[in-house]
Structures are given as C-alpha cells and as structure tokens.
Amino acid sequence: MRSIRWQVAWLALAIATPAGAFELTVRDALTGAPLQARVESDGASYFADGRARAYAIALPARVRVEADAHHAVDVTLVDDGMPTTILLDPLEEPSAYARLAQRALAAPRARWLQGYARDGLDGRAIVGARIEAEGHRATSDASGYFELELDPLDTEDVMTGRTTVHAHADGYADLERDGIARIAGVQRLLLAFGGDAPARGVVELGARDRVDGSVGAVDEAAAPIERASVPPVDAALAPSLVPPATIRVGYADAACTQSCCTGACTHSCVLPLETYVRRGLDSEWIASWNTQSLRAGSVAYRSYGAWRVAHPINANFDICSSACCQVNDAGTAASTDAAIARTPGILLTRNGNEAASAEYSAENNSWDDPADGLSCSNNDLSCGNGFAGTPASGWPCLADAVGAGHGCFGHGRGMSQWGTQRWAVDASARRWPWIVDHYYNDNANANGAGTGQRTAVMTSPLSLSAVTAVPSTTAAGATVQLSAAAHNAAGAAHGHLLIGASLHRSGAGYIDDPAGDVPSSLPTGDTTVARAFHIPAATPSGVYAVLLSLYLDVVENGAIGPGDLPLALVTATAAITIGGTDRIFADGFEASP
C-alpha cells in the first residue's frame, strides 16, 4: 500500500476541461478536516499542495481519490461546471467520538453535543470557537473539537422540543443553528464559519418539519410506477444487489453542511452511501425513537438515496439535501449511527436490478383530521381510518392499526414514519424486518395489499462462493472445517452475522450443527468465512452436499432462528463423504441443493 505523505491543509484542484475549470475539494467525512489527497485518473497521478492547479483530464473521467488513514473512493467526474467536494471516511472514528459514546451508554437520559469548528472555505480547524446551547458553554481545542454536556432529560417522551446552538469565533460572523432535536444521547455537529455558509440556519427534521410530511412528493411526482419481477419475500434468501458506492448530494456550501432544495444548491458533495445514510437518518426519523423504528427507517432512507443514484434529479447531483428530497446535513446522532450499523447495504428492490424508490411520509393513515393543522397531500383517502395507502398512486390499502385516529400528514405512499415507531413500541414489539415488509409488501401477502407498488423486498449486499470442507472424507462423529469466500459490497462492515451450515443428501435430509453457528463480522470487500461442523455419530454413510449461509442476527440472541434474516447461501454438491446412521434435522434453508 502506497504511503501518502503530505502536510497540505486541503485540496483544491482546478482540472482543465474543454468547458473550463473543475474545482475539487477533499475532506474528512466525520470531522470536516481538509485532507492531503491523491487523485488518479487513466494511469496518471495528481498531487495537491494547497494551490489550485490545472490538469489535463478529459471529462467525464473515472478517478480514484485516496488519503492516508481513509477509505479510498472511485468517482466519476463530469463536466457540469459545479464545484465538487469529496468526503472520505476515516479508517477509525475520532477517539473523542468513541470515548463519549461509551460514556453515554451508562447514562440513558444524558445529553451531549460534540463536533468540530471549521473554516468554511479551507476546512482548517478553528481554535477557541465558543459554542453555547441552553446556557452551557464549550470552547474548541487545537483540532477544532468541542464537547458540550447539556442538562439530562427529565422525561421519557420521544420528542421534547428543540435546541438552538450559538457559536462565536474571532474574525468570523457568529453562527446560529436552530431546530436541533432535544433528545437524549450524543448528537454531532460540524460548524462551518465563513465562506459560503450562512450565519443562521435551521436544522430540518423530516418527520417533524416537512411541509407536506413526505419523501417522494416533490422530486418524484412524475416517477413511473415500478413493476415487481422478483419473487415475493416468502422465498427465504434475500436477493443479492450491490448498492452504489457513492452518491452525489446537492449542498449550498463547499463544507457540505448547508442543506438546499434542488434549484438552490451550488455544490455537489460526493459521499459514500453509508455516510450519506448516517448524515440523514437523524434528520428524517426522530433519533430518540425505538431502535427497531430507526433500523427500519435506515433501509428506506438508503434505498431511496440509491434509487436516486440510478435516476439523478439533475446532471449536477443525484439528490438534493433539504426536505424537498430527503434531508441530509452534517449532523449525526449516536442512536441512528448504531441503527444503521445493523443494516449496512440493505436496500429494497422491485425488479431485482436496482433499488426501489422507497417512498415514505410522516403519517400515512387514510384519514385527514381537520383539527390537527397538518398538511395531508394524499390524493386518495378511500382506504379509510386505520388503513394506509393511496390506490390512485398504485399503493393499495394496507391494514395499519397503529395509525388509527392519527390524521394524515404527507402523501400516504410507502412507509409511515410515525407508524414505524408505534409498531416498535406496540405490545407486539415488531422488529425492523417485519416493519419494513409490512409497509413495502404487506409481509408477502400477494393476494391483498402486497400488490402494485407494495411489492418491494429487502436485498443483501453479501455473497458467498467456493465452499470447501476439510477433510473432505471423514467418519461420522468427526468435526470438519467449512469455509467459503465471502464478499461484502455494503461499504461498511457487517458486524452482526451468524455463520450457519447444513449437510444434505437425498434420502437422509438435512443434518446440522446449531452449536457451531458462530458469530462473524465481515469487513468490506473480500474475505474468508469459516466454522467448525460436528457430524453427529448417527449420520448415515454417503456423499453429502455442504450448504454454508450467512444470517443477520436480527433477534440478537447469537443463534440462528426464524426471526433472523438470511443474506447469503452457497452450496457445494458432493463436497464431503461420511458414514453413520440416520438423523434428520434442518438448519437454515429448506431447499434442495
């Protein structure tokens, strides 16, 4: 691996194109710090030294951007005339973030704001910036880092108001950020002073603030209805689909902190897809909601963004960053980060080839309460109270008991944001896969509401191949080692997997070893998974197929069960020869290899 050794504060490249200069900036996705970067294109390498340089790169061009201690990205640059900022994920999160996250685990009602103060133009750290909220004050250190402990919540309400942050730095206009959710836990901010960042800004929260309460209402009104061509979800294995590695997001500043509606965006910010989800879920869902609600929301948010990569809103970027599209900003929350880490790379699809446009709105009950003051833009309320849907738009009526009595707030299509929270805290305590399937395919009810647009199924970013058994010839009662090549295309590690395995032979059925279903974590890219398999002493003699599988531990009990999500399966026929007597017990996939 090549070492990159520079001490330049930031990267601003002017790439000469027939249409003029192309301006590119590279920064850290978590801290906003300027990065010393290397840009490679068509065999040529370009280095930054803090000055704008002209390079003879014909656009469009596929380039690789890399920096020390950061994940590299491959990006297609286009000649659109809009300045571009590329955000690279660090290999390790800032130590201050990890430290405070651990502290917060022991204090469920405590509240913190942490983050970095940066110059909006060049990203350098601002030392001595004074940050104030709710009467508490903090000062940024030499790296620009600040940490502000606020008064703990004295209630268990999921939403208890808003907070305003005021910030002052010598030589800059004062900053004010209003509308920050007043919730328990750790919230993170990136404060950009000067440059093109406005002095005052309002932090949008989609489930609370969006004018019509919906994602998909404004920028997707003319989108065609997608037709299902993949099996319904009663087919056990999630279909494989590689998510896009990056997404281009329209922002109003080079620091990628100021959200904007499509026509007001002046910069294109290229983000890894999982970073995009982390910067947005807490801006659409309420971060203090139950983790099952947040996990369900992460799948919808990621899928809608991925759909926009395939269907860009314009030539300059794939999607805007305000409530006109789906909200995305530089703030994150520890609770939503944790939820996203449970679903990396999982999308929805209807056709098996691309992500589904997973629309959602705040409240999807098909009844408009004239007294609530909320905007109901559902053009077909024929489903009635206690049901979600808008048949005129292709979303059939869905029995949604938790919505009964709540006035419509949004277009009524897809997932109900408040519904996800109610199902999570309902006596039935629904987990996130059930919630996702409920709203997007009626839990595989192909004869009822699971028709039309309500036919999207969850996908898997994981794959397995080349399974082997060592030794391949053995006796009943012995233990063998099973392994396979694994690939994780999620763009983030999958840390909550279980490796399952079965042997199969016609006439003998499935033989398993549940005690060997071991936890596993898959880094991004290629790796090997392995586990031991104990062959029961009574196993009949013969030649067996080996099935190796990866399950997402949804139930969180460390054992493969019916509530877990199967994400990958590989079968090797005639992989092992053994002896013994008959015992049939199925673990995993009930399908003949």
Question: Buried (b) or exposed (e) across 426-448, using 16+ Cβ within 10 A?
Answer: eeeebbbbbbbbbbbbbbbbeee
Average pLDDT over residues 173-187: 92
Averaging pLDDT over each range in 1-5, 229-233, 578-582, which range is the top one? 578-582
Per-residue pLDDT of 138-152, as tens digits, reads: 999 999 999 999 999
What are the φ/ψ torsions at residue 136 (nearest 5 degrees)? -105, 150
Q: Rounded to whole angstroms, how far apart are CA atoms 24 and 73?
A: 14
Per-residue pLDDT of 391-427, as tens digits, reads: 999 999 999 999 999 999 999 999 999 999 999 999 9
- DSSP per residue, 100-112: HHHHHHT-TT-EE
Average pLDDT over residues 534-552: 95
Q: Rounded to whole angstroms, how far apart are CA atoms 298 and 293?
A: 9
What are the φ/ψ torsions at residue 129 (nearest 5 degrees)? -65, 140
For the chain, what percentages of helix, strand and coil (3-state, to nearest 5) are there?
15, 35, 50
In this predicted structure, what is the pLDDT of residue 377? 93
* Nearest to 472, CA basis, from 463, 462, 483, 461: 483
Q: How far is CA 258 from CA 64, 192, 201, 503, in A?
A: 26, 9, 8, 55
Q: Rounded to whole angstroms, how far apart are CA atoms 138 and 112?
A: 11
**pLDDT of 257 above 70:** yes
Q: Rounded to whole angstroms, how far apart are CA atoms 27 and 31?
A: 8
Q: What is the mean pLDDT of the chain?
A: 87
**pLDDT of 187 above 80:** yes
Which residues share a beta bridge with 150? 111
pLDDT band per the 50, 70, 90 thresholds, residue 78: confident
Taking the mean position of all CA atoms in its chain, how far away is CA 48?
31
H or E segment and range at residue 149: strand 145-150
Where helices occur in 106-239 by DSSP H, the ranges are 206-209
